[in-house]
Amino acid sequence: MKTYSPYRIKVDALHALFHLSTYPPNIPCLLSADIVNALQSLTVSDDQRWTEKSLAVLLNLVLNEAGKEEMVSVPGLVSNLATVLDTGEPNEQEQAVSLLLILCKYSEMCSQMVLQEGVIPSLVSISVNGTQRGRERAQKLLTLFRELRQRDQTHLTKEPHAEVKSPEGDGFSVAAAAVTESKPQCKSASRKKMRRAFSFLWKSKSFSVYQC
């Protein structure tokens, strides 16, 4: 009787999962089997074939709304994808940045999670040295982060207004800007982390942002 090594069994299983995940009706069943949690540990495997195939399966799953929700909620996945951006091979980086672009467009919370991993330097590097598709996706993701930062700054610098009675005493109210000496405060610690993460992007002279 022919026997197979655990390595060969795992590779064959990943191939089977990849083909199953290409058929959308199969995705709910795969998600219910907790497949995302099982795959996340393989995304940082020492074996390139495991990493690439795991990322390929995740790319199929992320096209499903439930798949997006599952990936955002699985502990460790975003961190592992950030590691691939930093240390992976060009093809793996392309897959990881493609996944993150889809997830960050889907969820601002995911964008904050990604920024907290300190991915800006890796994305800048990929936007210059990655594969053609990797460069394009990295530039789009950096553009997305830039837009988030601009919205964040607009929110923080918006001046509050207070109502005061008109000098005529006719009962009408006019809006007057409230002058304050204190600087606007961030609503959360994650906002502060996002701004620190962006500081690298604006100081980098080697990166130019392309519009989506």
Query: What are the residue ranges spanned by the domains of the chain?
Result: 6-163+185-203
d(CA 49, CA 35): 18
Residue 184 scores a pLDDT above 80: no
Q: What is the pLDDT of residues 31-42, one digit of tens each?
A: 999 999 999 999
CA angle (211 as vertex; 209, 212 as ends), nearest 5 = 125
Q: Is 118 left (phi over 0), alpha (psi -120 to 50) or beta?
A: left
Predicted confidence band of residue 160 (pLDDT cuts 50, 70, 90): low
Instruction: Name the DSSP class of 62.
Output: T
State the alpha helices, DSSP H only, in the chain. 6-21, 27-32, 35-40, 48-61, 65-73, 77-87, 90-106, 108-116, 120-129, 132-157, 189-203
pLDDT at 200 over 70: no
In this prediction, residue 7 has a pLDDT band, given cuts at 50, 70 and 90, of confident
Q: What is the pLDDT of residue 56?
A: 96
Q: What is the DSSP letter of 34?
A: T
Rounded percentage of the chain residues whose pLDDT exceeds 90? 60
Q: What is the CATH number of domain 6-163+185-203?
A: 1.25.10.10
The number of beta carbons lying within 10 Å of the beta carbon of residue 97 is 31
How high is the pLDDT of residue 128?
97
How far apart are alpha carbons 131 and 182 in whole angstroms?
47
What digits encode the pLDDT tens for the residues 41-95? 999 988 888 899 999 999 999 999 999 999 999 999 999 999 999 999 999 999 9
Summarised one tens digit per residue, pLDDT across range 95-151 is 999 999 999 999 999 999 999 999 999 999 999 999 999 999 999 999 999 999 888
Band the pLDDT of 9: cuts 50, 70, 90: confident
